[in-house]
Chain A
């Protein structure tokens, strides 16, 4: 068998020329796309379930996130995820995400879009008003306590350590006592 013969055999298996010809046509019609897998960890609670993220590079350097699922190799979750973790994809990509602050005035029945600056100003004013109204400098026994009893703070479950640190510092600085974390609920 010559070199050319060997090449032809390699191209068609053991001589399945018809199957190769037909498969070539099918191959040309397939929309095959490349993706890569990446390890990640569920951001929500302290269990730390392992995730596999399927990503695809897009022209221009952007990375498209295709899917997130539990990693079956992880001894922590063995591929399983809780309902929240299973929808981790929506944390990153959701067509229903609200992308600008909305405000509903007292008594109003609908939301209106406001700017980020307006929202921050409004929150700052409300915090100042609530703090001024409910600040306790000295308790009933005469102890200096300097606490804000009229505000509580709840952190989000997807907080990073840094976000949690900043939130705690800012809130304690305002005199808040009631700090809670959604991941603990």
Chain B
């Protein structure tokens, strides 16, 4: 039996991350009718991003030229799809911003981590993200701290947390964080706030739907069915939870791949708008908003 050692990346996306993302968008737009507007737009954006990823991996632009590369070659495609398939407000604002500001400035400001209007952040992130995913040197050239709370590759903030698939059906996998900027993942201890490092259990509430922990389902052993028939409510997000911190009042969403092995964290997180609304209602702020601004 393969024994997972510290640092081993147990979770591996399919051979093609873009195929995985497209598949998951198709699955979730059926399952989560409430998020269809967002998922359809993300689904329209994915081919643009995938092409940008493949082109960047082939062209390997130097890190210093990455802003210009993304602004000239990817940005126009993101603008086109936003205008063609985006919600009304995005459409209007994108047209405004493109007329008012140079694409390079928008992308460069995001690279520097500056405060930006949400529409700028979307345009820059959607344009530059695929290239950062594709080129390791570009990630290394990004500004930002390289500490436990930031991506070791690019210094970005964590977008979400996920429990990796485990090599053992009965054990949950190690916790990982996924970078909002470059999509890299890194290991992070459970029961520790990803924003401030708080590790007192009582200050780290976890919010999930009723009946989604094994114990609540009537099973004492993770992965095994309940021993007796218990009321089993159909949870909307059986594999997701809100991990909040009462010290810094931040939260992020967490995806458990042991519960739903077909989940693609980056897509599932985008679709879980009701959980974001719930967390926000309780006064928590996401560590950093996702691509679609939630």
A-side contacts of B209, CB under 8 Å? 30-33
Tell yes or no: A72 within 8 A of B by CB. Answer: yes
A52 CA to B274 CA, complexed, in Å: 27
A16 CA to B86 CA, complexed, in Å: 9
A-side contacts of B36, CB under 8 Å? 19, 22
Please tell me the size bucket of the interface on B: 35 or more
- Is A15 touching B171 in the complex (CB atoms < 8 A)? no
Chain A, residue nearest B39 (CB):
A19
Take A26-B236, A79-B166 as given contacts and tell me if A15 and B89 are in contact as well, using a CB distance cutoff of 8 Å.
Answer: yes
Instruction: Please encode chain B, from 82 to 93, with 1 for each CB lying within 8 Å of some chain A CB and 0 for all others.
Output: 000011111101
- Is B174 touching A72 in the complex (CB atoms < 8 A)? yes
A1 CA to B90 CA, complexed, in Å: 13
- Is A22 touching B90 in the complex (CB atoms < 8 A)? no
Tell yes or no: B202 within 8 A of A by CB. Answer: yes
From B60-68, B73-81, B138-146, B215-223, give the one contacting chain A. Answer: B215-223
A52 CA to B175 CA, complexed, in Å: 13
Instruction: Please encode chain B, from 198 to 219, with 1 for each CB lying within 8 Å of some chain A CB and 0 for all others.
Output: 0001101111111101111000
Take A54-B213, A78-B4 as given contacts and tell me if A19 and B205 are in contact as well, using a CB distance cutoff of 8 Å.
Answer: no
A-side contacts of B233, CB under 8 Å? 31
- Is A26 touching B38 in the complex (CB atoms < 8 A)? no
Take A52-B190, A69-B222 as given contacts and tell me if A14 and B34 are in contact as well, using a CB distance cutoff of 8 Å.
Answer: no
A52 CA to B277 CA, complexed, in Å: 28
- Is A16 touching B87 in the complex (CB atoms < 8 A)? yes
A-side contacts of B206, CB under 8 Å? 34-37, 54
Instruction: Please encode chain B, from 12 to 49, with 1 for each CB lying within 8 Å of some chain A CB and 0 for all others.
Output: 00000000000000000000011111100100000000
Q: Determine which residue in B117, B205, B237 has the highest number of CB atoms from chain A within 10 A of its CB, and name it.
A: B205
- Is A80 touching B292 in the complex (CB atoms < 8 A)? no
- Is B87 touching A14 in the complex (CB atoms < 8 A)? yes
Instruction: State the total of A-B contacts with C-beta under 8 angstroms.
Output: 178
A-side contacts of B190, CB under 8 Å? 37, 52, 71-73
Tell yes or no: B116 within 8 A of A by CB. Answer: no
Instruction: Please encode chain B, from 155 to 167, with 1 for each CB lying within 8 Å of some chain A CB and 0 for all others.
Output: 0000000010010
A-side contacts of B163, CB under 8 Å? 72
Among candidates A9, A18, A19, A86, residue contacting B221 with C-beta atoms closer than 8 Å: A86
- Is A23 touching B277 in the complex (CB atoms < 8 A)? yes
Among candidates A27, A38, A70, A73, residue contacting B175 with C-beta atoms closer than 8 Å: A73
- Is A33 touching B207 in the complex (CB atoms < 8 A)? yes
Chain B, residue nearest A15 (CB):
B89
Contacting residues of chain A (1-34) with chain B, CB-CB under 8 angstroms: 1, 9-10, 12-20, 22-27, 30-34
- Is B191 touching A37 in the complex (CB atoms < 8 A)? yes
- Is A27 touching B189 in the complex (CB atoms < 8 A)? no
Tell yes or no: B148 within 8 A of A by CB. Answer: no
Tell yes or no: B288 within 8 A of A by CB. Answer: no
Name 22 A/B residue pairs within 8 A (Cβ), A-sorted.
A15-B86, A15-B89, A16-B37, A19-B34, A22-B37, A23-B277, A26-B34, A27-B275, A30-B278, A31-B209, A32-B210, A32-B275, A33-B208, A35-B205, A37-B201, A72-B171, A73-B174, A78-B4, A80-B171, A86-B221, A87-B221, A89-B220
Q: Which residues of A contact B (CB under 8 A)?
A: 1, 9-10, 12-20, 22-27, 30-39, 52, 54, 65-73, 75, 78-81, 86-87, 89-90
